[in-house]
Homo-oligomer: A and B are copies of this chain.
Amino acid sequence: MRTRPLKVALLGCGVVGSEVARIMTTHADDLAARIGAPVELAGVAVRRPGKVRAGIDPALVTTDATALVKRGDIDVVVEVIGGIEPARALITTAFEHGASVVSANKALLAQDGAALHATAQQHGKDLYYEAAVAGAIPLIRPLRESLAGDKVNRVLGIVNGTTNFILDKMDSTGAGYQEALDEATALGYAEADPTADVEGFDAAAKAAILAGIAFHTRVRLDDVYREGMTEVTAADFRSAREMGCTIKLLAICERSGDGASVTARVHPAMIPLTHPLASVRGAYNAVFVESDAAGQLMFYGPGAGGSPTASAVLGDLVAVCRNRLNGATGPGESAYADLTVSPMGDVVTRYHISLDVADKPGVLAQVATVFAEHGVSIDTVRQQGKDGEASLVVVTHRASDAALTGTVEALRKLDTVRGVASIMRVEGE
């Protein structure tokens, strides 16, 4: 074994960073044996230098992250700051000064992955980021390496623990969105400002990263259709139950039938209770991958948290260190397929539509005509009357999102349709 240590600079020492530092110290012998050389924490960049950090030598702590990545003797920079800047500038500077990078930064990778990969390649360095998607669950490595000889057609998953906690709570207790969110906040599953989670921004970033890797093409964050889950109601859950379904916020990346284009989207959807994703409870994550040869694979585990994320970071750290000792780099960006990313209108799926209608003869015929005129075939209709008002629940066969949108616009114009109570996609069948 090489005795000269590989030097690691840690950018950020919050929940994840402190756990990375702790494991690097307590498991130093294991890491050395697995890498083939010791690893040494050479510096820790933080914003608040005064804070006491158990187990970290105060002499290593600095507020000057730029100087740390410019030192020139750093082998690997571990970036767990998050956000776009200064993370982007620091990572770029790290490559320029000879370091490889391990990052947990989904927002940055989703927005600027291509440019960062290009910089890494230009300098002959590694950029690894297993921790950016679904915490500890190995997903990027399996997609990039294990399935490198296969053709992935679909990635379907729960990639945000906060929203899964909220939806699971709504499902199991009958609570409304706000009540479930309040509980998630009280328990620390939701942040004070939960926007990134509940509006689907976090999941959309992960969808962009997963789609790019799965389909060997570039998928930008703006390419991902995004719908949050703040408007999911207790009534939606009751409707879902009547169909033998529950509701999950899903990230769905699909290859089109002809293979020439892909789509990526995040939205709440009904899925059958018999689907394995339906039983993913609490803040857990799970991702289904469907490919030509392997068939259906599922990966399940904790999608967030300091320790799980640190596990993923350290797995990457070991890989990058090994590559460095080998004088090699791992697989970089693979975007050769250069596929078109189609808009949401092209997505084909099923829909559950709940309408408030006048309770009089002929309404169903009118509504059915509108669906037919837009080429959307109806699977089932359920009519419920109550005091002069009625509700009509329509479940469609597979149709394009564009056709469905046209249908709903036309339905809204009908005098007999008083309102569209909810529209939800039905997936996983």
B residues in contact with A329, CB < 8 Å: 326
Interface assignment of A311: CB less than 8 Å from any CB of chain B? yes
Cβ A33 vs Cβ B276 within 8 A: no
Which of A49-57, A91-99, A134-142, A350-358 is the contact stretch?
A134-142
- Given A293-B307, A297-B300, A301-B297, the answer on whether A322 and B331 have CB atoms closer than 8 Å is yes
B residues in contact with A323, CB < 8 Å: 328
Cβ A302 vs Cβ B295 within 8 A: yes
Query: In the complex the two chains form, what is the Cα distance from A308 to B292 in whole Å?
Result: 9
Find residues 211-269 in chain A having any chain B CB closer than 8 Å to their own CB: 216
B residues in contact with A292, CB < 8 Å: 307, 311
Cβ A315 vs Cβ B149 within 8 A: yes
Find residues 23-40 in chain A having any chain B CB closer than 8 Å to their own CB: 23, 27, 30-31, 33-34
Cβ B149 vs Cβ A27 within 8 A: yes
CB distance from A275 to the nearest CB of B (A): 11
Copies of this protein in the complex: 2
Interface string of A385-425 (1 = CB under 8 A from B): 00000000000000000000000000000000000000000
Find residues 288-334 in chain A having any chain B CB closer than 8 Å to their own CB: 291-302, 305, 307-308, 310-319, 322-323, 326-329, 331, 334
Interface assignment of A84: CB less than 8 Å from any CB of chain B? no
Query: In the complex the two chains form, what is the Cα distance from A314 to B149 in whole Å?
Result: 5
Cβ A145 vs Cβ B141 within 8 A: yes
B residues in contact with A315, CB < 8 Å: 145-150
Cβ A146 vs Cβ B150 within 8 A: no
